[in-house]
Amino acid sequence: MKERRIKSIYYKLISMGCDIFTDDNKNEFFVSRHSCANCKSPWYMNLTECFLCGMLNSYLFYCNTCDVYSSTTGGTVTCNKCRNKRKKICFNDKCITNKNGFKKEFNDKKNGVMDKSSPSSISQSHCINCGSSINLYLTSLVAVKEIENTKDLKISSNDKRYDCIIFVKKNTKKYLLTSPLIKKVKFDKFVDSIELEKIFS
Protein backbone atom coordinates (compact mmCIF):
# COMPACT_ATOMS: atom_id res chain seq x y z
CA MET A 1 0.00 0.00 0.00
CA LYS A 2 1.20 3.49 -0.81
CA GLU A 3 2.72 5.35 2.12
CA ARG A 4 0.79 8.47 1.14
CA ARG A 5 -2.53 6.65 1.63
CA ILE A 6 -1.52 5.48 5.13
CA LYS A 7 -0.33 8.98 6.06
CA SER A 8 -3.62 10.51 4.91
CA ILE A 9 -5.42 8.17 7.34
CA TYR A 10 -3.02 9.21 10.12
CA TYR A 11 -3.56 12.92 9.44
CA LYS A 12 -7.34 12.50 9.35
CA LEU A 13 -7.35 10.78 12.75
CA ILE A 14 -4.94 13.34 14.22
CA SER A 15 -7.29 16.13 13.05
CA MET A 16 -10.05 14.40 15.07
CA GLY A 17 -7.99 14.54 18.28
CA CYS A 18 -6.27 11.15 18.07
CA ASP A 19 -2.66 10.19 18.79
CA ILE A 20 -1.05 7.69 16.41
CA PHE A 21 1.65 5.18 17.35
CA THR A 22 3.43 3.15 14.67
CA ASP A 23 6.14 0.51 14.35
CA ASP A 24 7.92 -1.20 11.43
CA ASN A 25 4.67 -2.61 10.06
CA LYS A 26 3.31 0.28 7.99
CA ASN A 27 -0.10 -1.36 7.56
CA GLU A 28 -1.00 -1.32 11.25
CA PHE A 29 -1.00 1.31 13.98
CA PHE A 30 -2.21 1.96 17.51
CA VAL A 31 -4.58 4.90 17.98
CA SER A 32 -5.50 6.65 21.23
CA ARG A 33 -7.92 9.48 21.97
CA HIS A 34 -8.48 11.36 25.24
CA SER A 35 -12.26 11.53 25.51
CA CYS A 36 -15.23 12.21 27.73
CA ALA A 37 -16.34 8.95 29.35
CA ASN A 38 -20.00 9.93 28.92
CA CYS A 39 -20.38 11.28 25.36
CA LYS A 40 -16.95 10.41 23.84
CA SER A 41 -16.26 14.05 22.86
CA PRO A 42 -12.56 15.06 22.70
CA TRP A 43 -10.91 16.05 25.98
CA TYR A 44 -8.41 18.90 25.46
CA MET A 45 -5.62 19.01 28.06
CA ASN A 46 -4.36 22.29 26.55
CA LEU A 47 -7.76 23.93 27.14
CA THR A 48 -7.94 25.86 30.39
CA GLU A 49 -10.88 26.77 32.59
CA CYS A 50 -11.48 28.85 35.70
CA PHE A 51 -10.84 26.82 38.85
CA LEU A 52 -13.53 28.71 40.78
CA CYS A 53 -16.50 28.57 38.38
CA GLY A 54 -15.55 26.20 35.54
CA MET A 55 -15.83 28.84 32.76
CA LEU A 56 -13.81 27.84 29.68
CA ASN A 57 -10.97 30.08 28.56
CA SER A 58 -12.21 32.48 25.85
CA TYR A 59 -8.65 33.40 24.82
CA LEU A 60 -9.41 37.12 24.98
CA PHE A 61 -7.64 40.01 26.64
CA TYR A 62 -9.72 42.50 28.63
CA CYS A 63 -8.84 46.14 29.31
CA ASN A 64 -10.51 47.20 32.55
CA THR A 65 -9.98 50.91 31.78
CA CYS A 66 -11.51 50.89 28.28
CA ASP A 67 -13.91 47.96 28.85
CA VAL A 68 -12.68 46.42 25.58
CA TYR A 69 -12.02 42.78 24.64
CA SER A 70 -9.44 41.67 22.07
CA SER A 71 -7.97 38.37 20.94
CA THR A 72 -4.88 37.00 22.67
CA THR A 73 -3.74 35.60 19.32
CA GLY A 74 -1.05 37.94 18.04
CA GLY A 75 -2.17 40.61 20.49
CA THR A 76 -0.01 42.47 22.98
CA VAL A 77 -0.55 42.69 26.73
CA THR A 78 -0.73 46.50 26.45
CA CYS A 79 -4.03 48.13 25.43
CA ASN A 80 -3.79 50.02 22.12
CA LYS A 81 -5.96 52.88 23.42
CA CYS A 82 -4.94 53.63 26.99
CA ARG A 83 -1.61 51.73 27.09
CA ASN A 84 -2.61 49.99 30.35
CA LYS A 85 -1.95 46.29 30.84
CA ARG A 86 -4.74 43.98 29.63
CA LYS A 87 -5.69 40.79 31.49
CA LYS A 88 -6.97 37.29 30.68
CA ILE A 89 -10.00 37.42 32.96
CA CYS A 90 -12.80 34.91 33.57
CA PHE A 91 -15.76 35.81 31.35
CA ASN A 92 -18.38 34.63 33.81
CA ASP A 93 -19.84 37.85 35.26
CA LYS A 94 -21.05 35.91 38.33
CA CYS A 95 -17.60 34.45 39.08
CA ILE A 96 -16.07 35.66 42.35
CA THR A 97 -12.97 36.76 40.40
CA ASN A 98 -15.08 39.51 38.80
CA LYS A 99 -16.65 40.81 42.01
CA ASN A 100 -15.53 44.06 43.64
CA GLY A 101 -12.96 43.40 46.32
CA PHE A 102 -11.75 40.23 44.58
CA LYS A 103 -11.28 41.32 40.95
CA LYS A 104 -7.96 43.08 41.59
CA GLU A 105 -6.70 40.33 43.91
CA PHE A 106 -7.28 37.56 41.37
CA ASN A 107 -6.23 39.41 38.22
CA ASP A 108 -3.41 41.80 39.12
CA LYS A 109 -0.81 39.47 40.60
CA LYS A 110 -0.64 37.40 37.43
CA ASN A 111 -1.81 38.15 33.91
CA GLY A 112 -5.41 37.34 34.89
CA VAL A 113 -7.13 34.22 36.21
CA MET A 114 -7.16 32.59 32.75
CA ASP A 115 -3.41 32.93 32.27
CA LYS A 116 -1.60 29.58 32.32
CA SER A 117 0.69 30.79 35.12
CA SER A 118 -2.28 31.68 37.33
CA PRO A 119 -3.11 29.30 40.21
CA SER A 120 -6.81 29.95 39.47
CA SER A 121 -6.57 28.38 36.00
CA ILE A 122 -6.60 24.62 35.46
CA SER A 123 -6.66 22.21 32.52
CA GLN A 124 -10.05 21.12 31.22
CA SER A 125 -11.91 19.29 33.99
CA HIS A 126 -15.42 19.24 32.47
CA CYS A 127 -16.57 18.03 29.05
CA ILE A 128 -17.34 20.97 26.76
CA ASN A 129 -20.20 18.97 25.23
CA CYS A 130 -22.07 17.36 28.16
CA GLY A 131 -20.39 18.74 31.31
CA SER A 132 -19.20 15.36 32.65
CA SER A 133 -16.10 15.42 34.85
CA ILE A 134 -15.02 11.87 33.96
CA ASN A 135 -12.53 11.33 31.14
CA LEU A 136 -10.64 8.34 29.76
CA TYR A 137 -8.38 7.21 26.93
CA LEU A 138 -10.02 5.26 24.11
CA THR A 139 -7.57 2.93 22.34
CA SER A 140 -7.62 0.70 19.29
CA LEU A 141 -5.17 -1.45 17.32
CA VAL A 142 -5.94 -0.85 13.64
CA ALA A 143 -4.96 -2.67 10.44
CA VAL A 144 -5.25 -1.11 6.98
CA LYS A 145 -5.84 -3.33 3.94
CA GLU A 146 -6.01 -2.18 0.35
CA ILE A 147 -8.29 -4.20 -1.92
CA GLU A 148 -9.25 -4.19 -5.60
CA ASN A 149 -12.54 -6.12 -5.62
CA THR A 150 -15.01 -7.99 -3.43
CA LYS A 151 -12.99 -11.23 -3.56
CA ASP A 152 -10.25 -9.53 -1.54
CA LEU A 153 -12.65 -8.50 1.22
CA LYS A 154 -11.73 -11.17 3.74
CA ILE A 155 -10.90 -11.36 7.43
CA SER A 156 -8.36 -14.02 8.36
CA SER A 157 -7.78 -15.67 11.74
CA ASN A 158 -4.65 -13.49 12.14
CA ASP A 159 -6.85 -10.39 11.95
CA LYS A 160 -8.62 -11.26 15.23
CA ARG A 161 -5.89 -9.44 17.17
CA TYR A 162 -7.02 -6.08 15.76
CA ASP A 163 -9.78 -3.94 17.21
CA CYS A 164 -10.61 -2.43 13.82
CA ILE A 165 -9.77 -3.12 10.16
CA ILE A 166 -9.88 -0.37 7.55
CA PHE A 167 -10.42 -1.70 4.03
CA VAL A 168 -9.45 0.79 1.34
CA LYS A 169 -10.54 0.59 -2.30
CA LYS A 170 -7.51 0.85 -4.54
CA ASN A 171 -7.22 4.12 -6.50
CA THR A 172 -10.21 5.63 -4.67
CA LYS A 173 -10.94 7.49 -1.43
CA LYS A 174 -13.44 4.92 -0.21
CA TYR A 175 -13.15 3.27 3.20
CA LEU A 176 -14.85 0.46 5.04
CA LEU A 177 -14.22 0.20 8.78
CA THR A 178 -15.18 -3.03 10.48
CA SER A 179 -14.54 -5.18 13.51
CA PRO A 180 -12.64 -8.44 12.79
CA LEU A 181 -15.32 -10.21 14.85
CA ILE A 182 -17.92 -9.67 12.12
CA LYS A 183 -18.18 -12.89 10.10
CA LYS A 184 -19.43 -11.39 6.84
CA VAL A 185 -18.39 -7.94 5.66
CA LYS A 186 -20.72 -6.15 3.23
CA PHE A 187 -18.94 -4.60 0.28
CA ASP A 188 -21.61 -1.90 -0.21
CA LYS A 189 -20.77 -0.26 3.12
CA PHE A 190 -17.80 1.74 1.77
CA VAL A 191 -17.95 5.44 2.65
CA ASP A 192 -16.00 8.60 1.76
CA SER A 193 -14.58 9.31 5.21
CA ILE A 194 -13.11 7.70 8.32
CA GLU A 195 -15.85 7.04 10.90
CA LEU A 196 -14.27 7.63 14.30
CA GLU A 197 -16.95 5.76 16.27
CA LYS A 198 -16.05 2.57 14.37
CA ILE A 199 -12.37 2.91 15.27
CA PHE A 200 -13.29 2.67 18.96
CA SER A 201 -16.40 0.47 18.78
CA distance linking residue 188 with residue 83, whole number of Å: 63
178 DSSP assignment: E
CA distance linking residue 94 with residue 48, whole number of Å: 18
CA distance linking residue 92 with residue 191, whole number of Å: 43
Q: Which of 14-23, 61-70, 116-125 has the lowest mean pLDDT?
A: 116-125
Are 143 and 114 within one domain? no
Q: Would you say residue 128 lies in a domain?
A: no
Cross-strand bridge partners of residue 176: 167
Domain containing 57 equals 48-123
Are 32 and 58 within one domain? no
Q: How many of the other CB atoms lie within 10 Å of CB of 193?
A: 10
Are 75 and 96 within one domain? yes
The CATH number of the domain holding residue 152 is 3.40.1350
Quick one: average pLDDT of 86-111? 86
DSSP sequence for 67-127? TEEEESTT--SB-TTT-PBPB-----TTSGGGSTTTHHHHHHSSS-TTSTT-TTEEE--S-
Q: Which of 6-10, 86-90, 160-164, 169-173 has the lowest mean pLDDT?
A: 169-173
List, for residues 3-14, the tens digit of each pLDDT value: 788 888 999 999
* Per-residue model confidence (pLDDT) at position 38: 94
Are 85 and 144 within one domain? no
Each as own residue / partner, the long-range contacts of residues 192-198 (CB below 8 Å, 24 or more positions apart, any chain) are: 193/12, 194/9, 194/12, 194/13, 194/16, 194/166, 196/13, 196/16, 196/18, 196/33, 197/40, 198/164
List, for residues 103-158, the tens digit of each pLDDT value: 888 887 678 888 888 888 888 888 989 989 999 999 999 999 988 876 777 888 88
Q: Would you say residue 129 lies in a domain?
A: no
Q: What is the pTM of this model?
A: 0.71
Residue 174 has pLDDT above 60, yes or no: yes
Count of domains observed in the chain:
2
* Per-residue model confidence (pLDDT) at position 11: 93
Q: What is the mean pLDDT of the chain?
A: 86
Are 96 and 139 within one domain? no
Query: Are 92 and 55 in contact, with CB atoms under 8 Å apart?
Result: yes
**Residue that terminates a domain, selected from 73, 88, 123:** 123
